[in-house]
Amino acid sequence: MGIENGSIEYFMSKLEEAKTHFERALDCKHTEFDDLYPYMIEHPQFFWYKRYVAWSELLTIVKLCTELGYEWEQQFSASQAEYIKKRVMSSKVLDFWFETNDSKEHVS
């Protein structure tokens, strides 16, 4: 039994959803997690835990894509793909996930 295009499309859509979920968690925007645990908003550790859950979800989808031989890296920038490959949600990931080199904030 070969790999069907429907399976690839399914996993790529799940990958995009996991990426969006992680990015919304980084930005402290509303996610599905907020609906599941609304009482946690009152606790300071909530945003860290929310990010951890989203990162774990992203890593899980990437792992499945890798095991199935699906190309997942093109969905991310080169630096984002490297962060994912290292699997550790470090402060570097949190600080530089969205960073671009063409920022106009840099002073010459």
Q: Where are the domains of the chain?
A: 2-97
pLDDT digits 0-9 by tens, 69-102: 999 999 999 999 999 999 999 999 999 999 764 4
The residue ranking higher by pLDDT, 1 or 14, is: 14
- Can you give the pTM of this predicted structure? 0.80
Q: Which helix (H) or strand (E) holds 46?
A: helix 46-68
Check residue 34 and give its pLDDT. Answer: 80
pLDDT digits 0-9 by tens, 42-67: 777 888 888 999 999 999 999 999 99
Query: Can you tell me whether residue 83 is helix, strand or coil?
Result: helix
Report residue 95 as tokens: 């600080």
Q: Which of 106, 66, 99, 105 is nearest to 85 (CA)?
A: 66
Query: Can you tell me whether residue 90 is helix, strand or coil?
Result: coil
